[in-house]
Chains A and B, each alone.
Chain A
Amino acid sequence: MLNKKTEKKPQATNQFNQAVAGNSLTRDAWRRLKKNKMAVISIFIVVIYILLAIAAPILPIYPYDEIVLDHQNLPPSFTQNAGTLLLEKRLADLYTQAWRSGSLEVSEAEEEMLWTWIDANETNKVWDYMLEKGEQMSADGSFTFSATDQRRIERLEEKLMSELKVSIKSLWYTDPISNEREKLSSLTTEQLIDLYLDLSGTDIDTLKDQYTREIEQQLLRGIKDQNPELPDAEYQQMLEREIERLSESRFDSLIKSNILTKITNQIVNDANSHLGQMATDESVLFPVKEEISLNDTISAEVEASRINERIYYLGTDYQGRDMLSRIIYGGQVSIAIGFVGTITSVLIGIILGALAGYLGGKVDYIIMRIVDIMYGLPYMLLVIIAMAIFGRNILNLFFALAIISWLTVSRMVRGQIMSLKNQEFIEAARSMGASTWRIIFKHLVPNSLSVIIVFSTLRIPAFIMTESFLSFLGLGVSAPFASWGSLVGDGVGSMALYPWKLFFPALAMTIFLFAMNFLGDGLRDAFDPQSKNQL
């Protein structure tokens, strides 16, 4: 009904055949907004954030949920890759141990300084200092590692060189007779089982036992995730019921994925041993793409890269996940919650507020009393209860935030509409026989839209803050997903040792919230120039 007029407006020309176009209030507002430098910068920042969030899957960043346990808590660095950082860490550790065991001698003053740091719980400084000192002493020959330590360092270096990340791009099955290739996943379960039996040499019964057990485990894990804290007997019952419920085809596909995983694992192992050799003697340049065949029939295209060659610009978290990609993906969730929450709340708010404001009387009374009652309930408590009832996931978070946040919007819209509805142009529309819906959506809502837009812009940061707060409390987004709030929450715990885990997500969030607020202020000034607070 609203966008019926998407067709191009007919032009109006004057006697000199020049087009005469009107200047709508919105266009005036846009012109004023463009003069506001802060607002324009804010628009750019917001657009960049949104683009980053949307483009996250195609950006050249490491997966946000890939756990690399070796890379825990690496500091941010633009130049050193993870391997160097790990080696440094190890060296610092060894130098410190050497100092403690007395094989590395330091002066009296240094000793005192080091102990002050240890007493003040500033071990970071000790490590940094010992690394610098140790390197210096090793360089001028006044200190050498013991043989065992030397061996340790060499082993670590070797490991850092050879450790690979192998990812499988595609799995192929080559028919031995016709020599035709097809995707392994397109084979039937029976064919796969046969192939696997060939490959592994086990007999069918052992395999059957194996995969049945594994599938049961998998199902049990799923059940435990959904209903935590139940007695074991109950889990067993639920599992049996679950298995009974499983359809033939579903079970079949479970077996199929199980077998595929087994084959994949074998290929990864093969690739690791095969390429690992190449990595140590540096005969090839990584990352490398290669075709690996397990036997005559199964082959795979794999891509391998040295995992320790990664550079973490913003460091890693406690599970070795890249903070940069976690912040970008976290932004995706946070911004989405901000926008979706605002849009839903504004839609509900506009409809209910407009009805209450325009119809008045009993309708107004009922809607507004509902709003009053819901206002009376503690906001956070409602969200927490909703999250507890419906379970913790992102959709429920959207839902929980949306059901309570329309209250303010509906009140505001109602007020706007009450002040507009006695304007003469509304009476004029009514005297022309316009229907209630037409009056609300063609006259009242467009005229209060400026206020609504400003309000929603300022509302988005509020939503992001609420979500962050919930995630901080552990009620919002849960791992492996991230949001700015959950990242900050994770970072707070270890902010003395690893400040970058708190600093970068907080910075990303602050910049966005600043931009949103400036944009909101700019919009308000643009829509209502008289409201500008100036001399």
Chain B
Amino acid sequence: MLDTIILILDSTVRLSTPLLLAALAGLYSERSGVFDIGLEGKMLGAAFAAGAAAAVTGSAWIGLGAGILVSIALALVHGFACITHRGNQIVSGVAINFLAIGLTALLGQDWFRQGGRTPPVTGDARFGSIVLPFADSLRDVPVVGGIYAELLSGHNILVYIAFLAVPFTWWVLFRTRFGLRLRAVGENPAAVDTAGISVTWLRYRAVICTGILCGIAGTYLSVAQSAGFIKDMTAGKGFIALAALIFAKWKPVPVMFACLLFGFLDAAAIRLQGQQVPGIGEVPVQAIQALPYILTVVLLAGFIGRAVPPKAGGTAYVKERS
């Protein structure tokens, strides 16, 4: 029984990681007043770039670098449209999602001719699992040993980065000057502007942070979790991350718990496929898959707490009347 629980929790951690990275990514952008429904596209672009670069160079770290660069590039397109040219943030996000779907498949086929896949990565081209100290010797200790050896140890480095990014993001947002200004610009950009700080530059920096984290999220998918890029491999994870971000009311630590919850639902859905649950019968997998979205809608409706987005989110800042 304990083994099963640890197994499910272990895959929960693995499935939550990309959600967590993408949701934290969205946190920077949305807290600064730039809504981002293009998390999905940035992840996909990064997954492709990382998969391609890792396959060609044989280095997972170069893959990570390529993934982050492509994701930042897409984030800057979003910034250019929404911050510089005051375009509609939703429309821009839709465009970026489409751009990533189209370009990754098109270039993937042109470069590798494997139906949109990148060549499989192995060895150094992939992030392998890290065994924490004493994991093997502690394995036989009842309960704690199993949790330490199976649940905490044996993940790849990006998993640890993702969970370390939670306290780091909290620290940046709530304990640094940059974070204070970033939150302020999402609530009241005019006040930030009056204080002599550039709204544009601040929002651009926030969007770049989003790019970096989405880049890691995408890289995780193609060169850590899987061994190579597969066409359309994000499969809606960017939107689940967005749902988690809203579900967590745009706060870093709750974001982690929301992502773990949604990751757990995903793990449970895989586990429960075709199985009889005592007292309920067969649970339709689709119901569990839809649950993150349903929960988010219920939350948005204000039935369990209230999700209030950053006040200036979704609107471009106009410095003066023309």
Do A and B form a real pair? no
Chain B positions within 8 Å of A, measured between CB atoms, are none
Chain A positions within 8 Å of B, measured between CB atoms, are none
